[in-house]
Amino acid sequence: MKYFNSKSKVKSSTTIGTISIMLPILLLITPLFLRCKKFVELDPPNTLLVTGNVFQNDANASAAMTGIYSQMVEQNLLPYEFPLFTGLCADELKTNLALFKPVYQNGLQPVDAATNIIWTLGYNFIYQANVVYEGCNASTTLSPAVKKQLMAEALFIRAYWHFYLVNLYGDIPLITSSIYIDNATASRTPKAQVYQQIITDLKNAQGNLNENYVAANSIATTTDRIRPNKYAATALLARVYLYTNNYADAETQATAVINNSSVYSTSTVDVNSVFLKNSKEAIWQLAKPTPTNSINTYEGASFILTAVPSLGLQKSSTISTQLLNAFEPGDLRRNNWIGKFTSGSVDYYFPYKYKVETSATITEYSMVLRVAEQYLIRAEARAQQNNLPGAIGDIDVIRLRAGVSLIAATNTNISKTNLLAAILDERQRELFTEGGHRWLDLKRTGTIDAVMTAVAPSKGTTWNTAKQLWPIPQKEIGNDVNLVQNPGYN
């Protein structure tokens, strides 16, 4: 499948036989990354371990790790493509583009689903993280501080992508080594076991990552928040605990981030400054490694409409009526995070969290983890533990910045059930078109059938509950005799 638009020609990767991949870090050796100054090419794998020469010195080892972050930005416009697909699947975005009709109408097919690239890339990043972890672990020449940091980052990235894959596809192969022969016949691991490994990896990362943000050499501190630190692992761990109904630990981890107020804040960052690079809202961001075409972020370059929605990958979607109607009057997020392009008598609304379509001056990075989510995690965790006043206090931090009435002032007798529903609604307004939150929230809260059944007619379809899991790419099913398809796609 190929996607083109007038601004760039970006070819979608074909499925690479992700689990049975025969070359490490194939994505590193594409022409797209050959221009990166810090590019490091890893040796072909043997059956045990890869890349002995790469991990002989700090500079090359650090470049191998940061190369993963570069790919997480550049491969298939991933910071844009992922929220596009999840937003279309849910009730955030709409499109008339025939190419994405199966995504929008929840009619994905295993052979050619546009979402197949998420599986492919996710497992490639996991594989590369395993290579970095094993290479650093085996090295006797890396400096101790760099070795510790890189191994922790590798575990963080492995946990991050396992988290998304298990939430998008259900039971998935759990890949914790670079031994491709073993991975080629991996079967699906129960979701609970995958989560156990995610938590183990994040705890390990949390205990070994630098509290500060480190620069390219993995030692010096920097103001750029583009490599995960201890608090990034803590923030993701809070999310994982929430998803696994461990509310006490979710609250504890979210609190650890929130209490580091000298570094992180929501209340002191106005809505138009949230997505600026290195804002106090940011816990972890991704930056383009070599800015091209004056693009700051692919979200800004691809969501912002300056004409009628196009027939290409980029600039092809608009905000759904359901999302537009979710905002209360006067909500600053509605006024500032949703843009409008008018053609004749037709208004086209689009995500406008990122304000820069193109600019030679880099002012925005792609947001991955931010503080507002931590308040919403803690609000939900506290509500689930019957600490309703504490939950209300957290959600009101978000509402105060949004300029809407506070729950504490208007709903003093709110029930636990209604408060949890209010938190879900607040997450819809605060986190739309970010990190797939809405799609995953609907599934984990058990509200997806009700919401999507109501939304389906406006999409021109009917809802099938089996479609809340994406299909595993058919090529992967064919390559791995132990891999079975999700129900509803056979």
Angstrom distance (rounded) from CA 165 to CA 271: 30
Same-domain status, 325 and 436: no
Low-confidence ranges of the chain (pLDDT < 70): 1-52, 291-292
Q: Bridge-partner residues for 464, per DSSP?
A: none
Residue 52's pLDDT is 59
Q: With DSSP H G I counted as helix, E B as strand and the rest as coil, what are the percentages for the chain, rounded to 5?
A: 50, 10, 45
Residue with tokens 């979210």: 254
Task: Give me the pLDDT at residue 182, please.
Answer: 80
Which residue is it, tokens 């221009």? 35
Judgement on whether residues 211 and 83 belong to the same structural domain of the protein: yes
Q: What is the largest CA-CA distance in the chain?
A: 67
Regarding whether 254 and 227 lie in a shared domain, the answer is: yes
Number of independent structural domains in the chain: 2
Residues 254 and 315 reside in one and the same domain: no
Among candidate residues 306, 321, 351, the one where a domain is terminated = 351
Say if 204 falls within a structural domain.
yes
Do 397 and 303 fall within a single domain? no
Residues 325 and 183 in one domain: no
CB 300 within 8 A of CB 355: yes
Continuous segment of H or E residues that includes residue 422: helix 416-430
> 275 and 305: one domain?
no
Residue that finishes a domain, picked among 311, 327, 351: 351
* Number of C-beta neighbours around residue 193 at 10 A: 12
Instruction: Assess contact for 374 and 238: CB atoms under 8 A.
Output: yes
Instruction: Tell the burial category of 345 from Cβ atoms under 10 Å away from its Cβ (0-12, 13-18, 19+).
Output: exposed
* Side chain identity at residue 453, one-letter code: T
CA distances in angstroms from 69 to 220, 263, 381, 417, listed in the order given: 18, 22, 31, 40
Shared-domain flag, residues 199 and 234 = yes
Do 42 and 185 lie in a common domain? yes
- 465 falls within a domain: no
**409 lies in some domain:** yes
Q: Please state the pTM of the whole predicted model.
A: 0.91
Residue 448 lies inside a defined structural domain of this protein: yes
Number of Cβ within 10 Å of residue 433's Cβ equals 28
pLDDT recorded at residue 126: 97
CA distance 7 to 77: 13
Decide if 474 is inside a domain.
Answer: no
Residues 326 and 386 in one domain: no
Beta bridge partners of residue 340, listed in sequence order? 349
Task: Supply angle C-alpha 284, 289, 294, rounded to 5.
Answer: 105
- Look at residues 262, 229, 232 and name the one whose alpha carbon lies nearest to residue 149: 229
Tell me which of 328, 351, 374 is where a domain ends.
Answer: 351
**Residue 235, in any domain of the structure:** yes
What's 162's domain CATH number? 1.25.40.390
Integer Cα distance of 464 and 467 in angstroms: 6
Residue 477 in domain: no
* 67 plus 133 within the same structural domain: yes
Say if 487 falls within a structural domain. no
**CA gap 375, 382 in Å, rounded:** 10
Query: Given the structure tokens 């209604």, which residue do they identify?
Result: 418
Please indicate, yes or no, whether residues 315 and 443 belong to a single structural domain of this protein: no
Q: Which domain does 343 fall in, by range?
A: 298-351
Q: Are residues 42 and 25 in contact, defined by beta-carbon separation less than 8 angstroms?
A: yes
